Structure 1
Amino acid sequence: MTDILVLGGGYTGVVAAIRVARQTRRIGGKVTLVNASPRFTERLRLHQTAAGERLEDHELADVLAGSGVELEVGRVAGLDLESQRVRLDGGRELGYDKLIYALGTVTDASVPGVAEHAYTYDGHAEAVRLSRHLDTLTEGTVVVAGGGLTGVESATELAETRPHLRVVLLTRGRPGSMMGRGARAYLDGALERLGVEVRAGADITKVLPDGVELGDGELIHSDATLWTTGTRGLPVAAGSGLSVDARDRIVVDAALRSVSHPDVYAVGDAAAVSQRFGVLHGTCQGGIPTGLHAADSLAATLHGKAPKPFRFGYVHQPVSLGRNDAVIQFTRRDDSPRRWYLKGRAAVVYKETVSSSPIQTYRLLKRGLVPVWAFALTAGLA
């Protein structure tokens, strides 16, 4: 019997757990997934939750049903890498032979006041808390900090569903700056149409209870501030002695094993995964392939085989612009924009397909199938 623990029940942790359970069941693999909540959170949809949309609930027990994976509900409090044990809140401990670390990241709260006064997307409960607060406002201002895709999706969603509120998007650069010229122009038009006030070149130095302070001393009033500017790994990784990068992500080798502790595999946002074009940034697009590959690497090792190196290429940058609009920027492997992009209703359908794909992927994996898109992303075909 080989005890395999998977820490984290997000997109990557679930896919890794289901895959490794199937790959090792004939050689005595016992897989346990540890998650702080019994609920599976669709992080791709948290901006919808914040805007007040009621989404389908997915219980992890239901998602894992039939996979052979056992669920342990508990928050990880510490790792003892020498004795190969995981400590949970409340004093419980779990031993392991192999570990897949998929605890993701949390909001980078290094700017003063973020932890105390800003709303974040660190979990479903946080998005619900923001939504309930906005329900109490008959007028006022919502500040969204960060002009990346999460910030743009949040600003447009909030502006569309709560037109009585002023929505201000603060960003150091241009919103959607990673996109090509055509897609950026379309995104700009959507922000304008929905009445989002964009303040480019804004450097937030402090978040206050009722506003934000900029580097030039300007104060912007806010009845709610949503922080979407950057993440970092949980302190439990570095605190346990795992080698981490400047953002506290676990540094891994080509097989997605920790460079300091080879019995630990790290996937998704929690891992610093290097490719020829650089280190992957945290997205579901890259996360699920890492979960699949880590599971296969671990299984290969247990079967006495050498694991293959991880290869990945980006395909797209999908962003919703409210419920009835979207733009999809297609990319090269290194995430730089191609000439082609999709907009309008066709992009809405595309984005919804992307957002719903993880649940469909889990169902396929339980049947021993891997979706074609996952093969493309990890086989260098993208």
Structure 2
Amino acid sequence: MKHRIVVLGAGYAGAYVAGNLARRLSPQDTEITVVNAEPDFVQRMRLHQLAAGREIEAPKLVDVFAGTGIRLRLARVTAVDPERQVVAVADGDGGGEFGYDTLLYALGSQGDDHGVPGVAEHAFDVAARPSARRLRERLDQLGGRGESANVVIVGDGLTGIETATEIAEARPGLSVALIARGELGTRLSAGARDHLRRACDRLGITVLENTEVEAVEAARVLCADGTALAADATVWTAGFMVSPLAAAGGLEVTENGRIIVDRTMRSVSHPNVYAVGDSVYAIGDNGRPLPMSCGSAGYTGRQAVEAIVGHLTGREIANTKLVYEGNHISLGQRDGILQMVDHEGRAKPKYMGGRKALRIKAVVLRGSLWATSHPTFGLPKRKRRLAAAPSDAATPSNASAEKRVAA
């Protein structure tokens, strides 16, 4: 029987790995299934732009995987059982479970409310496409009221900065405030922080530094110092968390649920499970954990491909680069910051700002979308046969709920 490879998640990392495996492994020996809840590829790095009102391209996954032989299963993953080597899913037909021989876990991350009261009930976020669309609808409502409305963004990480500047530029009739728990842009160099402050001033963004949010209500944000900010829309960007599925399934994870792997992205507790992207706790070449980022997704994905192909074909496994090089930050549609970091992950003194930095960010975004939409482009056409007979199936897959992409 064929060796069954199941990829959970078709984001930047999952789609990349699935396509590469399809190109490099022989279809005579392997069967690749991708499980994803949505039928489209979501450009997560641009969801703040979607929320602000821009139209963002979302290629159909059936088109992304066309010609690869990959099976696409549109379903939500509800459980992972690495002992039985099965995955449980829910879909319009009720779902079920199916087996795997090799599992690639790439379910990414979601917004983290940190237990702050009222966030789940009253705040918006841009961590997923449905929630970004809800925010967009709310901003449309506020823009049509004929009076100034207040939008409060909580969290000054990269997502918070990009969301605040995008909304302020796209919707100048709204009053935008950005709440920073510490100093604004604390991970940037001094020059980049000054550039960021000037951008916020230019866009009319009110910045509240060294401010901690205690609760979110329907029409205001309550801060620890007693300040109450009027908020017709509160946008929560204060961190991300991973799904609890890996921990619930018995995989060895960190305290925050990220899967612990070796240098090749292989689970330290279950060797037929690999993890990539935000879901993985991987140590970079500098000895520090890789951060949740698109860059990390690419590097961990490449390493996982090399490891899976190597293990299945008996070839030597190459160690690919695992680095964190810096951040590309958009500040609306006419400005940006490119901040590189040193070997220790600290911001280098020099930075690039302005339109040139924004153009570089745009190239990165277009490149990421193109690479995901053409997952097998440029790879060797020779497919590798497995070194040994594939393992027996643990549980037959639910063929009626799968869709084989036309070759």
Q: For the Cα contact (< 8 Å) 2:187–2:347, is it kept in 1?
A: yes
* 2:107 aligned residue: 103
Q: CA deviation at 1:362?
A: 3.3
Asked if 1:10 is matched to 2:16, the reply is: no
Deviations 1:320-369 (A, max 9, x none): 11011111112224432223322212112111001111122235641344
**Greater helix proportion:** 1
1:195 lines up with 2:204 in the alignment: yes
Structure 1 residues 26, 57: closer, same or farther in 2, change over 3 A? Answer: closer
Q: Deviation digits for residues 284-326 of structure 1, max 9, x if unmatched?
A: 0111121121121011001124534454222221111101111
Residues 2 and 226 (structure 1), Cα distance of their counterparts in 2 relative to 1, 3 Å cut: same
Deviation at 1:26, TM superposition (A): 5.8
1:60 aligns with 2:61: yes
Alpha-carbon distance between aligned partners in 2 of 1:68 and 1:337, rounded to the nearest angstrom: 43
The CA deviation string for residues 157-199 of structure 1, in whole angstroms up to 9 with x for no partner, is: 0101111111110011222211111111111100110000000
Match of 1:22 in 2: 23
Report whether the alignment pairs 1:80 with 2:81.
Answer: yes
User: What's the TM-score, normalizing by structure 2?
Assistant: 0.87
Q: Which residue of 2 is the match for residue 116 of structure 1?
A: 121
> Does structure 1 residue 339 correspond to structure 2 residue 340?
no
Whole-Å Cα distance in 2 between the matches of residues 8 and 334 of structure 1? 31
Flag the structure with more relative contact order, 1 or 2, with Cα contacts below 8 A and sequence separation at least 6.
Answer: 2
Give the unaligned 5+ runs of structure 1.
371-382
Measure the CA separation in 1 of the matches of 2:338 and 2:28: 43
SS at match of 1:39: coil
RMSD: 1.6
- TM-score (norm. length: structure 1): 0.93
- Conservation of the 8 A alpha-carbon contact between 1:254 and 1:310: no
Structure 1 vs Structure 2: percent identity of aligned residues? 40
In structure 2, distance between residues paired with 1:347 and 1:193: 17
Separation in 2 of the partners of 1:106 and 1:128? Answer: 15
Unaligned runs of 5+ in 2: 381-407
Q: 1:365 to 1:57 in 2, by over 3 A?
A: closer
| Partner secondary structure for residue 338 of structure 1 | coil
Distance 1:66 1:112 in 2: 48
Question: Which whole-Å CA distance do the structure 2 matches of 1:57 and 1:9 have between them?
Answer: 12
Instruction: Supply the distance in 1 between the matched residues of 2:349 and 2:186 (Cα, whole angstroms).
Output: 15
Task: Say which of 158, 162, 169 aligns to 1:153.
Answer: 162
Q: How far did 1:205 drift? A: 1.4
**Letter of the 1:356 counterpart:** R
Deviation at 1:27, TM superposition (A): 6.0
2:45 matches 1:44: yes
| Deviations, residues 34-78 of structure 1 (Å, cap 9, x unaligned) | 000101100110010010111223111112222332211000011
Larger Rg: 2
CA offsets 1:268-291 (integer angstroms, 9 cap, x no match): 000111123411111001111211
Q: What SS class does the counterpart of residue 65 from structure 1 fall into? A: coil
Residues 333 and 365 of structure 1, relative CA distance in 2, 3 Å threshold: farther
1:239 to 232, 241, 248: 248
Mapped contact 2:178–2:208 kept (Cα < 8 A)? yes
Where does residue 284 of structure 1 map in the other structure? 294
> Which of 113, 127, 130 is matched with 2:135 structurally?
130
State whether structure 2 residue 169 is matched by structure 1 residue 165. no
Structure 2 residue corresponding to 1:204, chosen from 213, 235, 241: 213
Aligned length: 370
Task: Provide the rounded CA distance (Å) in 1 between the counterparts of 2:322 and 2:360.
Answer: 21
Which of residues 351, 371, 374 is equivalent to 1:361?
371
**Amino acid corresponding to residue 348 of structure 2 in structure 1:** R
Indicate the residue corresponding to 2:335 in structure 1.
Answer: 325
Partner of 2:388: none
1:86 aligned counterpart, secondary structure: strand
Match in the other structure for 1:249: 258
Alpha-carbon contact 1:327-1:341 (below 8 Å) kept = yes
Say which structure is richer in strand: 1
1:31 and 1:70 in contact (8 A); partners too: yes
Q: Distance in 2 between matches of 1:4 and 1:44?
A: 27
State the Cα deviation string for residues 136-168 of structure 1 (Å, max 9, x = none).
113211110111111010000010111111111
Q: Per the alignment, in what secondary structure is the counterpart of residue 279 of structure 1?
A: coil
- For residue 339 of structure 1, give the secondary structure of its aligned residue in structure 2: coil
Residues 248-327 of structure 1 aligned to structure 2 (within 5 Å): 248-275=257-284, 276-309=286-319, 311-327=321-337
Q: Is 1:167–1:196's contact at 8 Å kept on the other side of the alignment?
A: yes
**Does residue 185 of structure 2 align to residue 176 of structure 1?**
yes
Contact 2:15 2:375 in 1 (8 A): no
Letter of the 1:298 counterpart: I
Distance in 1 separating the partners of 2:344 and 2:321: 12
Q: Which moved more, 1:116-125 or 1:36-45?
A: 116-125
1:6 corresponds to which letter in structure 2? Answer: V
